[in-house]
């Protein structure tokens, strides 16, 4: 195993985050500031209309999805939902198939004005791709986060697509978490007025 050191690791993460590419549903490039501003706008509108923000992923990406769902619900007052409850996801996988664990409930519950955030380091996970297709068929707003191959299929499926050129899962997951926290902070910090009269304990 090659020697690694903290300076090199930090440098890799900085390079990957600096190389973030955002494209729209036509494949046109969008600047990071414009992309995040649009994502924040859509999220604020979703919250105002009391619609649902779904977040999905596998493995570490599922953990990141759950983490962000809780942060957004607690700190930004967004109605969030994940489908990673152990009983639900194992029942769906056993009865229907793992490729449909997100697509099937989304097909049953999703609505046009909802939003799906799909997280996949490879951009090739079948269950994420299937759910994304369902969301697009329902005319939902779709945000994709992917890494590794620039030609991964997920990268071409969203209303906004955020791609980081990380070459392995660990760096992809770290960068995706940073991107998602930044988005959440934009929504949260930009809406301090909503917290008047509510506890303001620091996020944990």
Grouping H, G, I as helix, E, B as strand and the rest as coil, residue 118 is strand
Alpha-helical (H) ranges within 22-168 are 32-48, 60-75, 86-95, 103-109, 126-137
Are the beta carbons of 39 and 45 closer than 8 angstroms?
no
For 20-191, CATH number out of 3.40.50.2020, 3.40.50.10490, 3.30.420.40, 3.30.1450.10 equals 3.40.50.10490
Q: Considering the entire predicted model, what is its pTM?
A: 0.91
- Identify the three-state secondary structure at position 98: helix
Angle between helices 6-18 and 169-189 (to 10 degrees): 60
SS3 1: coil
- Gap between the Cα atoms of 192 and 188, Å rounded: 7
Chain-centroid distance of CA 160 in Å reads 11
So where are the chain's domains? 20-191
Q: What is the pLDDT of residues 138-183, one digit of tens each?
A: 999 999 999 999 999 999 999 999 999 999 999 999 999 999 999 9
Nearest to 103 by CA among 92, 119, 95, 94: 92
pLDDT tens-place string over residues 81-125: 999 899 999 999 999 999 999 999 999 999 999 999 999 999 999
């Amino acid at each position: 195993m090659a020697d690694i050191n903290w300076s090199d690791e930090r440098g890799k993460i900085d390079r990957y985050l600096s190389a973030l590419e955002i494209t729209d549903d036509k494949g046109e490039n969008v600047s990071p500031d414009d992309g995040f501003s649009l994502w924040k706008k859509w999220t604020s509108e979703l919250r105002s209309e009391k619609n649902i923000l779904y977040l999905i992923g596998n493995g570490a990406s599922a953990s990141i999805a759950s983490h962000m769902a809780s942060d957004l619900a607690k700190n930004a007052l967004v109605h969030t939902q994940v489908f990673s409850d152990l009983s639900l996801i194992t029942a769906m996988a056993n009865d229907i198939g793992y490729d449909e664990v997100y697509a099937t409930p989304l097909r049953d519950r999703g609505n046009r004005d909802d939003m799906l955030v799909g997280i996949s380091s490879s951009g090739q996970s079948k269950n994420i791709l299937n759910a994304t297709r369902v969301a697009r068929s329902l005319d939902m707003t779709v945000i994709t986060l992917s890494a590794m191959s620039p030609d991964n299929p997920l990268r071409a499926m969203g209303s906004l697509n955020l791609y980081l050129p990380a070459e392995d899962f660990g760096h992809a997951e770290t960068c995706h978490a940073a991107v998602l926290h930044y988005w959440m902070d934009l929504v949260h910090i930009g809406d301090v007025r909503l917290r008047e009269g509510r506890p303001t304990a620091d996020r944990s």
